[in-house]
């Protein structure tokens, strides 16, 4: 079901002590409104974070996972391992995974399938690079990312998908897509899903925006009709900033 979501991707930040402190700060600071709150600490701190958020409305999610169930894949983590410590949602397709770790649409399609087969929810990230935006290719790029990784899924699987449109040029750069640029792309994403599936599927999927969202720009971006919240990097590492973004839904 479509809902407002504010999700924090902590990336490779925060040791265990810092994780505990940030969660304690978030428990104090987060507003109570209708937005779902997710945080994605690094793998080694997930179990601790699950324990520390018990009884709160903060969901702890993973930043990645492997598509195989088990076996000789040194350094990798499976869906079953995540579920066994209480993780129900995984981020897949982040641009840093694509750029630094060679994750292709084909690999991502396998990861999405593995997560869904395990009953998990997926926050699927995608978005164009700067040169693709400048050359006017951004709609084509986004369409093919969606098509290659997600359009083999049956319509019923889409209740387990959250989309995060993240223009790569806006991630960690301080440069944000304007609220109108975000709305334009989010409307295009829904139109593309409606054409492949149905208006019903397109209308029920939450589509988050990611890319330098801060307390001072969140309200304007989130006020757009096709923007259902944000995937937040840098600003999710500070309780005041993250709660200042979540307040945009109040
Ligand atoms: C991200 O990495 O998903 C992200 C949106 O980062 P930032 O908010 O720092 O731009």
**Residue 157, number of CB atoms within 10 A of its CB:** 16
Atom of ligand 1 nearest to the CA of 213: 8
The reported pLDDT for the residue numbered 172 is: 83
Atom of ligand 1 nearest to the CA of 212: 10
Q: Looking at per-residue confidence, does 225 or 33 come out higher?
A: 225
Instruction: Say whether pLDDT at 18 is over 80.
Output: yes
Residues having CB within 6 Å of any atom of ligand 1: 9, 166, 171-172, 210-213, 231-235
The reported pLDDT for the residue numbered 34 is: 87
The rounded Å distance from CA 79 to ligand 1 centre is 24
The rounded Å distance from CA 128 to ligand 1 centre is 14
The arithmetic mean of pLDDT across residues 22-30, rounded, is 97
Instruction: Say whether pLDDT at 212 is over 80.
Output: yes
Atom of ligand 1 nearest to the CA of 173: 10
The rounded Å distance from CA 155 to ligand 1 centre is 29
The Cα–Cα gap between 206 and 53 comes to: 23
Instruction: Say whether pLDDT at 250 is over 80.
Output: no
Atom of ligand 1 nearest to the CA of 232: 8
The arithmetic mean of pLDDT across residues 70-75, rounded, is 98
The model's pTM is: 0.97
Instruction: Say whether pLDDT at 225 is over 80.
Output: yes
Give the confidence band of 249 by pLDDT, cuts at 50, 70, 90.
confident
In order of 2, 85, 112, 223, the CA distances from 160 in angstroms are 10, 19, 10, 24
The arithmetic mean of pLDDT across residues 195-211, rounded, is 97
The reported pLDDT for the residue numbered 150 is: 98
Give the confidence band of 21 by pLDDT, cuts at 50, 70, 90.
very high
* pLDDT tens figures, 213-223: 999 999 999 99
The rounded Å distance from CA 70 to ligand 1 centre is 30
Q: Does 166 qualify as catalytic in the annotation?
A: yes
Buried-exposed string 71-105: b where 16+ CB fall within 10 A, e elsewhere: eeeeeebbbebbbeeebbbbbbbbbbbbeeeebeb
* pLDDT tens figures, 36-65: 999 999 999 999 999 999 999 999 999 999
* pLDDT tens figures, 77-101: 999 999 999 999 999 999 999 999 9
* pLDDT tens figures, 112-167: 999 999 999 999 999 999 999 999 999 999 999 999 999 999 999 999 999 999 99
The rounded Å distance from CA 199 to ligand 1 centre is 29
* pLDDT tens figures, 27-43: 999 998 889 999 999 99
The catalytic residue among 96, 138, 166, 186 is 166
Mean predicted lDDT score pLDDT of the chain: 96
The catalytic residue among 66, 94, 138, 186 is 94
Ligand 1 pocket: which of 12, 227, 231 to mutate (most atoms <8 Å of CB)?
231
The reported pLDDT for the residue numbered 175 is: 81
Q: Considering only CA atoms, which residue is closest to atom 3 of ligand 1?
A: 233
Q: Does 138 qualify as catalytic in the annotation?
A: no
């Amino acid at each position: 079901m479509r809902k407002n979501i504010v999700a924090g991707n902590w990336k490779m930040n925060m040791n265990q002590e810092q994780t505990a402190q940030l969660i304690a700060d978030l428990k104090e600071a987060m507003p109570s409104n209708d937005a779902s709150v997710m945080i994605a600490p690094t793998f080694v701190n997930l179990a601790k974070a699950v324990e520390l958020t018990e009884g709160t409305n903060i969901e702890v999610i993973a930043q990645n996972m492997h598509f195989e169930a088990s076996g000789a894949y040194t350094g990798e983590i499976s869906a079953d391992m995540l579920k066994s410590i209480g993780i129900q949602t995984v981020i897949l397709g982040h641009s840093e995974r694509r750029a630094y770790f060679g994750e292709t649409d084909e690999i991502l399609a396998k990861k999405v399938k593995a997560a869904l087969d395990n009953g998990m929810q997926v926050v699927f990230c995608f978005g164009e690079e700067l040169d693709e935006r400048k050359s006017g290719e951004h709609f084509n790029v986004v369409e093919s990312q969606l098509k290659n990784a997600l359009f083999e899924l049956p319509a019923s699987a889409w209740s387990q998908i959250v989309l995060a449109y993240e223009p790569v040029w806006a991630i960690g750069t301080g440069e944000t897509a304007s609220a109108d640029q975000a709305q334009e792309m989010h409307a295009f994403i829904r139109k593309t899903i409606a054409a492949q599936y149905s208006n019903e599927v397109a209308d029920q999927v939450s589509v988050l925006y990611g890319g330098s969202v801060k307390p001072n720009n969140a309200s304007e971006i989130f006020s757009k009709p096709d923007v259902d919240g944000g995937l937040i990097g840098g600003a999710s590492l500070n309780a005041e900033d993250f709660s200042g973004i979540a307040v945009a839904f109040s």
